[in-house]
Amino acid sequence: MPQPPAPTKIIAVHLNFRSRAEQRGRVPAEPSYFLKPPSSLAADGDPIVRPRGTELLGFEGEIAIIVGERTRNVSPADGAARIGWYAPANDLGVYDLRWADRGSNLLSKGQDGFTPLGVPVAAAEVDPATLVLRTRVNGEVVQEDAAANLLFPFGLLVADLSRFITLEPGDVILTGTPAGASVIEPGDLVEVELEGVGTVRNEVVEATEAIPSFGAQPRVSPATHAAAVGLPEPPPRPVTLSDTARTALNSVSTATLTVQLRRRGIANTFVRGLRPTRPGTWKLGYARTLRYVPLREDVRDADRAELNAQKRAVESLGPDDVLVMDARENPGAGTIGDILAARAMALGATGIVTDGGLRDSPAVAELAIPTYYQAPHAAVLGLVHFPLETDVPIACGGTLVFPGDVIVGDAEGVVVLPAALAEEVAADALEQERRETWALERVLAGETIRGIYPLSPERRPDYEDWLARGGDAELPPRPERTEQ
C-alpha cells in the first residue's frame, strides 16, 4: 500500500489508555476529542522546539491510526476496516499556554512540529490487537502499554467520529497516551516506539527567538504543573487571603493566633511536639496534606504507581503551599528528606510540617524552606510508614488539618487557622499585638499591669493616643520573614 496522502485534519483523543485514565482519577464513559492542525506534523529526526519562556513541554507517546478511505457514518466493525496505516506518534504540548486555550488545545498543542509522526506501515501488515507502545526519554523507558488496554478500540474511534465528521484519506487519529507522560527539557531525546511498526525520534531544542509580547503569554499554576506531570489537579483553595491579612499574619506570633482562635471557641490549633529547622524564619501558606498509615507489606508491594503518594504530594505543590504530613506522631522513620524538601522548595512551597521523623535533617536545615518535625531519623519512611493518600483531612501533632487551611509558623511552632476564619483572625490578631506592644512599653516604664493588660476602658484613651502618635509603627521584633 502506498504512503498516505497529507491529512486534512489531525484528531486527538483526550483519555483512552486505562492506565492514564486511572492516573487522572477519571475513566470516561465515551471518547472525547480535540483537533490539531496539519501544520503541527513533524517527521522522525525533526527537532522539537520549546518556545522561549515556557517550562512545561509535555510529551505523550501515542498510536496513530491513519484513515485509508473516505469514511462517513460507519459501524465500529466497518470503522476498523477503514484504517489504512498505523504509526508511532508524539502528541506534544506546552502546558504553559493551556490557560489561554479554553479547552481547544490549539495554542498549547497545535504549534508547528508538535505532532512528530513515524513512517506509517500499512494496516494489512499490522495486528492491531498485539500492538505495544513504548516511550523512552534519553534511553529510559517512561511509558509502556498495549493497545489491548485501550478503553475505546480503534474501530470504535473511527465510527464514533464518522457519525458527524467525514474522515478523508490521510486523516490522522491520535488514540491517546498511557500513564507516564511528563515534561521534557532542551537536550532530551524522545523516542516513541510502536513495536513491530517503527520508532519516531526527536530531540528537544530551545527556540532562538522570544515569543512576541502581544497575545497570550506563558503562565504556570499548581494545577498546570500537576497536569503536565500526570498528577490529579490540586483541590481548589477554600479561601485566598487578602494582602492585608497576609501582612498581618506575617507580623503576629503563633501565640497570639491561638488566643484569637480560643476566643472563637477553637482550642486545639497548635501542632504539638514539633521543632523548626530554621527558627529565624516565618512561614505562611495553605495546607496541602499527606497521610501516612502503618506499613503493611502486602499493601506496599501492591502499589505499582510510578510515583507513590509521598512523591505525588511533593510534585503537586505550588507557590504558597505548605506540605502537612500525618505520620501518627511516630518519629520512628523519616517522612521526608533533603531531595524531596528541595523539590518542594523549587516548586514554590513555603514550608513543610510533619509530626514524624525528618531524614537528612542537617541538609534540610540548610535549605531555605522552613521545616517543622518531631525528631531526626536516618531511616527511610518504609521502615514504619506507608504513604496512602493526599489532599484529605488529616491529624498532625494532634491537630485537625483540612486542605486549604492557613498554616502559620514561627520559632515557637505551627498554628492551623481554619480557612473560613483566617481573614478575621488576622485582623484581630494584629490589633491584639498592638495592645500588647503598648502594654509592654508601659510595664517596662515601671507601671503596674492593672488597666493595661488587659486594656481597661479607663486606659483606652491613653492607648488610642499612643496609636495616634504612631506608637504601633514597629511591633516587637520578629524573626526574619521569608518572602511570600
pLDDT of residue 233: 74
Q: By C-alpha distance, which of 109, 126, 123 is closest to 58?
A: 109
Could you report the per-residue pLDDT of 174-210, keeping only the tens digit for each? Answer: 999 999 999 999 999 999 999 999 999 999 999 999 9
Cα→Cα distances 325→272, 357, 371, 385, Å: 13, 11, 11, 11
Rounded Cα gap, residues 336 and 162, in angstroms:
51
pLDDT recorded at residue 430: 87
- Cβ-count burial of 201 within 10 angstroms (0-12 exposed, 13-18 middle, 19+ buried)? middle
pLDDT at 221 (0 to 100): 80
Residue 103: C-alpha distances to residues 3, 106, 209, 381 (Å):
33, 8, 27, 40
| Cα–Cα distance for residue pair 176/154, rounded to 1 Å | 11
Distance CA(256)–CA(239), nearest Å, equals 21
Rg (CA), the chain: 28
**Cα–Cα distance for residue pair 240/419, rounded to 1 Å:** 9
pTM above 0.75, yes or no: no
CA distances from 100 to 33, 95, 222, 249, 449 (A): 18, 10, 16, 34, 60
**According to DSSP H, which parts of 242-291 are helical?**
243-249, 254-263
Domain boundary assignment for the chain: 10-228, 243-423
Element (DSSP H or E) covering residue 33:
strand 33-36
- Binning the chain into helix, strand and coil, the percentages to the nearest 5 are 30, 25, 45
**What pLDDT digit, counting tens, does each position of 227-270 carry?**
888 777 788 899 999 999 999 999 899 999 999 999 999 999 99
pLDDT of residue 236: 86
For 419-442, what is each residue's pLDDT tens digit? 999 999 999 998 888 888 899 999
User: Hey, do 10-228 and 243-423 end up sharing a CATH topology, with the first three levels equal?
Assistant: no
* Angle CA 108–31–390, to nearest 5: 70
| 423 alpha carbon, distance to own chain's centre | 26
Task: Scan for cell 521545616, then name that residue.
Answer: 371
Residues in the chain, pLDDT under 50: 476-484
Burial of 213 (0-12, 13-18, 19+ CB in 10 A): exposed
If DSSP codes are grouped into helix, strand and coil, which group holds residue 199?
strand
pLDDT of residue 281: 83
Superfamily of domain 243-423: Ribonuclease E inhibitor RraA/RraA-like (3.50.30.40)
Q: Locate all alpha helices (DSSP H) within 169-316, ordered by sequence.
A: 222-228, 243-249, 254-263, 297-302, 309-315
- Whole-number Å distance between alpha carbons of 466 and 300: 62
Q: What is the pLDDT of residue 473?
A: 64
Return the biggest CA–CA distance within the chain: 100
Q: What's the CATH number for 10-228?
A: 3.90.850.10
pLDDT of residue 246: 93
Nearest residue to 228 (alpha-carbon basis) of 239, 220, 240: 220
283-302 pLDDT tens trace: 899 999 999 999 999 988 88
**pLDDT for residue 1:** 61
pLDDT at 483: 39
